[in-house]
Amino acid sequence: MTGYVARRLGQAVVVLWAAYTVTFVILYLLPSDPVEIMLAGGQGGEQSTVDPAQVAALRAEHGLDDPLPVQYAHALWRTLHLDLGASIQNGAPVTSQIGQALPQTALLTASALALALVLGVGTAFLSTWTRWAWVRTLLLALPPLGVSLPTFWVGLLLIQVLSFRVPVFPALGNEGAASLVLPSVTLAIPVSASIAQVLARGLRTALAEPYVETARAKGASRARVHLRHAFRNATLPALTIGGVIVGNLLAGAVVVETVFSRVGIGRLTVTAVNGQDIPLVQGLVLLAATVFVVTNLVVDLLYPVIDPRVRVQGAPRRPRPSTRTLVGSAS
């Protein structure tokens, strides 16, 4: 187990380094100049009329006139010392900017995830539990709908109805629990849809397995079969898409934070990318990569907990949800 964790940590470091390097190369290959963008006032700015010599001086101050390998070595060395540098746009340290935005996004994504789990699991469970065909059809239609609704549109619709028409929740800002409701619901919809889709499919597959028949034959109740046997097995594929869910949450945060005028990593990313603020984009990429690496690590470590056979076989390996068939879980 120790060797396994060490290997995974090694892989994580390689992933982070690769993400950092690829971002660096892409940003520097772009033809535009972050200093010129800053002088243009970023988004919504007007034309800059600054003397070219002064522009060159500012570029030198940020080390943007050094040869590419020097800039790369410098940036990497600094990053290894946990110094992510300062934003080109306003000179603020990248770590403090991320530190300011991160708690808000964490709060938003955590509440959205909690809501998504309730909605997603609930939908999947009811769709396989119900004996009424029309209810099943209706519930099974919800996940594809939830995935395909544009988050942007959902957010604006919710604001229109529940903030502008009927003033129940505030439309702006991130103060208090009330301001968290509409953004969380908006973000939870697509995420719950992915969970429901995968889980419902897993449940249907599991319920058709021979062991379910065996369990029923042994006299297990309908609820016990559903919860204890089928649900447990269906959880595995759903867990496998943990990385996808985290991706959905982060990508959704960009839209949700913009629509609801919230502070957060999503908004910060948009301004950083628009302004081609290299140190800030680098810092955000590292953060996102870390979140993905950690999520996948947690998923991998959870596997043996849920599926004892993985534990028995030694080194856990993540099964592919589509091909996996489990024969008889603990009953």
Partner 1 sequence: MRTRTPLSALTLAGLLVLTACSGGQSSAQNPADATPVDGGNLTFAISVDSGCIDPQQVGNNDALNIGRQLVDSLTVQDLDGKIQPWLAQSWEVSPDATTFTFHLRQGATFSDGTPVDSAAVKANLDGIVALGAKASLGSTYLQGYTGTQTPDPQTAVVTFSAPSAQFLQATSTMSLGLLSVPTTTADPATRCDGSTLVGSGPFTVGSYTKDDKTVLDKRKGYDWAPTGSKHSGEAHLDSITYQVVPEASVRTGSLQSKQIDATTGIASQDLPQFDGNGFWTQRRANPGIPYNFFPNESRPIFSDERVRQAFSKAIDREQLVSILNPDDVAVSSALSASTPAAPDDSAALALDVDGANALLDQAGWVEGADGIREKDGRKLTVTVTFWQSTTAVLELVQQQVRAVGIDLQLKQGTTAETTALQNSGDCDVLFYNLTRSDPDVLRTIFSTETRNVNHRAHSQVDDLLTQQAATPDTAQRAQLVAQASKLLVEDAHSIPLFELSTVIAAHDDVHDLQFEGSSRLWFYDAWKQS
Which residues here bind partner 1, judged by CB under 8 A?
Answer: 30-33, 35-37, 39-51, 54-55, 57-58, 86-87, 89-93, 97, 100-101, 156, 159-160, 163-164, 167, 170-174, 258-264, 267-268, 271, 274-276
Least distance (Å) between residue 273 CB and partner 1: 9
- Residue pair 239/303 in contact (Cβ under 8 Å)? The answer is yes
Least distance (Å) between residue 306 CB and partner 1: 39
Burial of 270 (0-12, 13-18, 19+ CB in 10 A): middle
Longest CA–CA separation in the chain, Å: 85
**Residue matched to tokens 């028949």:** 213
The residue among 214 and 258 lying less far from partner 1, judged by its C-beta, is 258
The residue among 97 and 127 lying less far from partner 1, judged by its C-beta, is 97
Least distance (Å) between residue 27 CB and partner 1: 10
Least distance (Å) between residue 24 CB and partner 1: 16
Least distance (Å) between residue 252 CB and partner 1: 15
Distance set, CA 298 to CA 81, 106, 244, 285 (Å): 26, 17, 14, 20
In DSSP terms, which residues pair with 70 in a beta bridge?
none
The residue among 44 and 69 lying less far from partner 1, judged by its C-beta, is 44
Residue 64 CB coordination number (10 Å): 16
Least distance (Å) between residue 101 CB and partner 1: 7
Least distance (Å) between residue 11 CB and partner 1: 33
The residue among 97 and 282 lying less far from partner 1, judged by its C-beta, is 97
CA atoms of 77 and 17, how far apart (whole Å)? 12
Q: Is the dihedral of CA 254, 288, 62, 97 positive or negative?
A: positive
CA atoms of 73 and 279, how far apart (whole Å)? 14
Least distance (Å) between residue 50 CB and partner 1: 5
All residues at 6 or more sequence positions from 119 whose CB lies less than 8 Å from its CB, including other chains: 188, 189, 192, 195, 196
The residue among 35 and 200 lying less far from partner 1, judged by its C-beta, is 35
The residue among 15 and 162 lying less far from partner 1, judged by its C-beta, is 162
The residue among 161 and 177 lying less far from partner 1, judged by its C-beta, is 161
Q: Among candidates 229, 225, 237, 228, which has minimal Cα distance to 200?
A: 237
The residue among 94 and 291 lying less far from partner 1, judged by its C-beta, is 94
| Tokens of residue 204, six digits | 């249907």
Measured in degrees and rounded to the nearest 5, phi and psi for residue 86 equal -120, 150
